[in-house]
Amino acid sequence: MIRECAPGKIILFGEHAVVYGRPALAAPVHGLQACAKISPLPGATSCRIRLRAPVLQLNEYSDSLPEDHPLARVCSLTMEELKISAFESFNISIESTIPASAGLGSGAAVSVAIIRAITRFFNACLDTTRINALAFEIEKIHHGTPSGIDNSVISYAKPILFRRGAKLESFSVRQPFTLLIADTGVKASTSAAVSKVRIAWECDPQEFDNIFDRIALITMKAQHALAEGNLTVLGSLMTDNQALLSEMGVSAPSNELLIQAAAEAGALGAKLSGGGLGGNIIVLPPQDQVQVIHDTLIQAGAAACYQTEVS
Ligand code: PMV
C-alpha cells in the first residue's frame, strides 16, 4: 500500500492582495495533514479508480463523477501527466485532519497527496514544480481565480514569500515561534470572499489598489520582523493587516469576536488567515502565554484551537 500526505497551511500576511500581484507570506501547518492511500482493486474491470473520502461521504469511481469534480480531475490530470492510459484498477482512500472550508488549504493538500500517491504507485517521478502546477489546475476548480499561494506552500511544504508570476522565495525565521490557529466555526467560501473583493475593486480600483499597496508594505515589514525575530513588531503588523482586511470587507463578526478576545487577553497580534468571512484566525501569543491565550479563545467560542510552530 502507498500512502502520501501533505500539510495544511496558513497565510501569515497578504491574503487577497496576493490575487492582485502583491506579495504574501505563508507557512505549512505540519500538525494538520491530508493523506491519500492507494491499494490495488482486484476484481474490478481495468482502468478504473475508486475514490473513497469518508469526510466528503464519497465512495465512487472517478469516471462516474463529473469531469470537473476536483478529485476526479486530479486523478485524470495526474494519469495524463504520467502518460498512463492502461492500468489495473486501484483504490484511493483520502483521510484528512485539515478542516474543510476554513482557509487552511484542505483542497490543495488533498490534491498534492493524491498526485504524490499516484506517482509513487506507478514508480514514476514528478518534481515539485510539476506537482505544484497540477495542484494549481485543481485550485482553479475550487476557487475560480486563485493566486497559487495555497498549492505552492503545500507542494513545497516550507514557508514561502509568494508573488504571482515571480520565482518562489523562502523566508528566514530567526527565532521559531508558536502561533495559535482558532476556528470561528463558520464555514467560509474562498471564492465568495475573492469575488466580493473583486466586485468592490471593480467599483473603486483606486481605493482597493491603495489597500493592496498598504498590505504589501506590511508584508515586506513582516518579512524583516521575522528575519530579526522581533515578535512584538510582527504582532502589531498582524493587527495592521487585519484592519485592512476588515476595510476590504472580508472580516466577519465571527473573526472580529475571536480577534478581540485574543487582544484583550494580551496577544501580540491577531488576524484572519485565508479568504475570511469566517474560517480561521491566527493569533501570536507572548511565547510564555500560549496556553492562557489558547484557553481564552476556546472560552470566547472558538470551535477548535490548534498550535503550530513557524520555523
Ligand atoms: O484558500 P484560502 O481561504 O486560504 O484563501 C486563499 C487566499 C486568497 O488570497 C484569499 C485567495 C488566493 O487565491 O490567494
Say if ligand 1 is within 6 A of residue 16 CB: yes
Helix (H, G, I), strand (E, B) or coil at 309: strand
Contact 164, 150 (CB under 8 A): no
Residue pLDDT, tens place only, 187-245: 989 999 999 999 999 999 999 999 999 999 999 999 999 999 999 999 999 999 999 99
- Distance from the CA of 17 to the center of ligand 1, in angstroms? 10
Confidence (pTM): 0.95
% of the chain with per-residue pLDDT over 70? 100
Q: Report residue 42's pLDDT band, with 50, 70 and 90 as the boundaries.
A: confident
When the pLDDT of each residue in the chain is averaged and rounded to a whole number, the result is 96
Return d(Cα 109, Cα 107) in angstroms, integer.
5
Pocket test residue of 194, 195, 197, 250 for ligand 1, highest count of atoms within 8 A of CB: 194
Q: In the sheet that 304-310 helps form, which strands lie side by side, from edge to edge?
A: 269-273, 280-284, 177-183, 304-310
Catalytically active residues are: 150
Residue pLDDT, tens place only, 43-98: 777 899 999 999 889 999 999 999 999 999 999 999 999 999 999 999 999 999 99
Return d(Cα 267, Cα 46) in angstroms, integer.
56
- Distance from the CA of 90 to the center of ligand 1, in angstroms? 32
Residue with cell 480531475: 73
Contact 10, 26 (CB under 8 A): yes
Say if ligand 1 is within 6 A of residue 143 CB: yes
Say if ligand 1 is within 6 A of residue 146 CB: yes
Q: What is the pLDDT of residue 188?
A: 86
- Distance from the CA of 274 to the center of ligand 1, in angstroms? 5
Which of 30-44, 208-222, 278-292 comes out lowest in average pLDDT? 30-44
| CA 16 to ligand 1: nearest atom | 9
CA 193, 12, 273, 266 torsion-angle sign: negative
Residue 122: pLDDT above 90? yes
Q: What is the pLDDT of residue 144?
A: 82
- Distance from the CA of 150 to the center of ligand 1, in angstroms? 7
The phi, psi pair for 25, rounded to 5°, reads -115, 130
Residue pLDDT, tens place only, 125-163: 999 999 999 999 999 998 888 999 999 999 999 999 999
Contacts of residue 124, defined as CB under 8 A and 6 or more positions apart, other chains included, come to: 82, 84
